[in-house]
Structure 1
Amino acid sequence: MTQQSQLLVSAIVVFDIDGVVRDVGGSYRRAIADTVEYFTQDAYRPSLADIDVLKSEGVWNNDWEASQELIYRYFEAQGQQRNSLALDYAKIVAFFQSRYRGSDPDNWTGYICNEPLLLNSSYLNELSHAGIAWGFFSGATRGSANYVLEKRLGLQSPVLVAMEDAPSKPDPTGLMATVQQLTSDILDNSTPVLYVGDTVADMYTVKKARSLDPSRMWIGVGVLPPHVQESLQRRNAYAETLKIAGAKVIFDSVQELTPTEIQKLV
């Protein structure tokens, strides 16, 4: 029985991808640092903590825009006005992609090839067998998302709303579109939804979905990305940030969100 064929489900789980399904500390975050370093002429390379501080503002889900913003802020700290800077966003995107995907658009050789996976397909099968529908809503490009979901995890045409399909988080349009796809064959249209993410923007997305559709239970589930778990102080600070942003529960690993834990939440 597939997730699409189930007519009665106990819950719907929508997963973010970056920091939840795959560890992007050495890929997306590294590409941000490379890009900022390049466009500041090697004067500034943001640390993972610097990037987390920016992300904690809840509006920098798009890593191309995050890179540009860090570049702007560096030059502003040097006394320059951003409207006097001749930054070319297209060139920022192209440089970022050359690091993340690699220089060959048809044969990816960049940082994406070495991203550790944070869940496996058997975990998703457990959810399906427990009557839990699941899908993905991510700010990653569709190509990048499908690379990990289909090529790495071996999923067959999973429900996915990616960067090209919806406005950037915390706009809830993409989350609600994912849920709509997952509920097309579900009899009960009030089935609780859990959105699993690792950033403030993810938790804000849940809040906004709740305000638009208060008839359904919307639950924010926080997952701590691996790079913040390297010290207890950093882990606890990051967890507190997610709680303040609206996470109902926080896990060190996405696979700790078992069918039993899901039932407790709903």
Structure 2
Amino acid sequence: MTEPQSTPLTSNWRAIAVFDIDGVVRDVSGSYRRAIADTVEYFTQSAYRPSSVEIDQLKSEGLWNNDWQASQELIYRYFEAQGQGRSQISLNYDTLVDFFNSRYRGSNPDNWTGYICNEPLLLKPSYLENLTGGGILWGFFSGATRDEALYALSGRLGLVAPLLIAMEDAPGKPNPTGLLAAVEQLEQKHKIDNKLPVIYVGDTVADIYTAENAKTQHPQRNWIGVGILPPHVQETAQRRDGYEKNLQNAGAKIVLSNVELLTPEAIQELINLNC
């Protein structure tokens, strides 16, 4: 399936939806987050393996969208709790990244066999087709590397040349540069000169902060942050409710249990409520 063409299936484009990938398009609880735990455990000599809840707590700070940096931060905090200063901790970042990638991608860089190969998808191509039919332009802004993002978008979903702003293309979230770039590229491709409302869809506090920061930079436009609950936080009501509250406190206008609930009709209702 290709991305939206220059001529919409409806008379006019109504909005732009930009999606995060991890936790929205694919379930990364057994891949990226497992690789974080593996990495922290390895570099603390098996003394500490962070739980899923502890990783979520770190992510809720809104600063640790990059999972390599999140792993590094958890390692630093473990040793600080043991009374060591960061300057005393011998931790090579490049070595950490290599180890993380050996778990997430696998040991062979040319033939991935790691955790990435087993990520459940959270949406179907027909969902994106329905957005196009409803007059919603769409693209992706992810903190994942480009090849890892395309593994899901092109390799798994079958999207042909999807509009993607990846790690290599912009500063990390919550810096809104990547979101702004995705919107600009969609406007240029489809020759849109009016300021359509923009919905940014993500599963972390950093994602919602990104939409809020875009709003701060361009207040004349309608920016709407939509939160998605990743599958791993929906196992208990207490955890789900806490995660939902964090997204709402960050500025999410609505929080959904699955991205496919964000239909063209739901998008129009959000726009009407946030004019």
State the alpha-carbon separation in 2 of the partners of residues 157 and 216 from structure 1. Answer: 27
Matches within 5 A, 1:227-246: 227-246=232-251
Aligned residue in 2 for 1:203: 208
State the alpha-carbon separation in 2 of the partners of residues 94 and 175 from structure 1. Answer: 28
Conserved? CA contact 1:4–1:182, under 8 Å: no
Give the TM-score, by structure 2 length: 0.95
Conserved? CA contact 2:3–2:162, under 8 Å: no
> How many residues get paired?
266
Query: Once the 2 structures are TM-superposed, how far is the Cα of residue 86 of structure 1 from its aligned partner?
Result: 1.2
Q: Please state whether the residue corresponding to 1:12 is helix, strand or coil.
A: strand
Residues 88-139 of structure 1: CA deviation (Å, up to 9, x unaligned): 0000000000000000000000000000000010000000111110000000
Alignment counterpart, residue 84 of structure 1, candidates 79, 82, 88? 88
Aligned residue in 1 for 2:157: 153
Query: Once the 2 structures are TM-superposed, how far is the Cα of residue 6 of structure 1 from its aligned partner?
Result: 3.3
Conserved? CA contact 1:9–1:186, under 8 Å: no
Aligned residue in 2 for 1:223: 228
Alignment counterpart, residue 67 of structure 1, candidates 60, 64, 71? 71
Aligned residue in 2 for 1:97: 101
Aligned residue in 1 for 2:47: 43
Matches within 5 A, 1:161-172: 161-172=165-176
Residues 163-189 of structure 1: CA deviation (Å, up to 9, x unaligned): 000000000000000000111124342
Give the TM-score, by structure 1 length: 0.98
1:22 aligns with 2:22: no
Q: Please state whether the residue corresponding to 2:211 is helix, strand or coil.
A: helix
Q: Please state whether the residue corresponding to 1:222 is helix, strand or coil.
A: strand
Query: Once the 2 structures are TM-superposed, how far is the Cα of residue 214 of structure 1 from its aligned partner?
Result: 1.1
Conserved? CA contact 1:22–1:116, under 8 Å: yes
Gap change, CA 1:21 and 1:2, over 3 Å in 2? closer
Aligned residue in 1 for 2:217: 212
Aligned residue in 1 for 2:37: 33
1:3 aligns with 2:4: yes
Unaligned stretches of 5+ residues in structure 2? none
* Residue identity in the other structure for 1:207: E
Query: Once the 2 structures are TM-superposed, how far is the Cα of residue 4 of structure 1 from its aligned partner?
Result: 3.5
Aligned residue in 2 for 1:262: 267
Aligned residue in 2 for 1:253: 258
State the alpha-carbon separation in 2 of the partners of residues 34 and 2 from structure 1. Answer: 36
Unaligned stretches of 5+ residues in structure 1? none
Aligned residues with identical type, % of pairs: 66
Residues 234-254 of structure 1: CA deviation (Å, up to 9, x unaligned): 000000000000000010000
State the alpha-carbon separation in 2 of the partners of residues 173 and 87 from structure 1. Answer: 30
Q: Please state whether the residue corresponding to 2:209 is helix, strand or coil.
A: helix
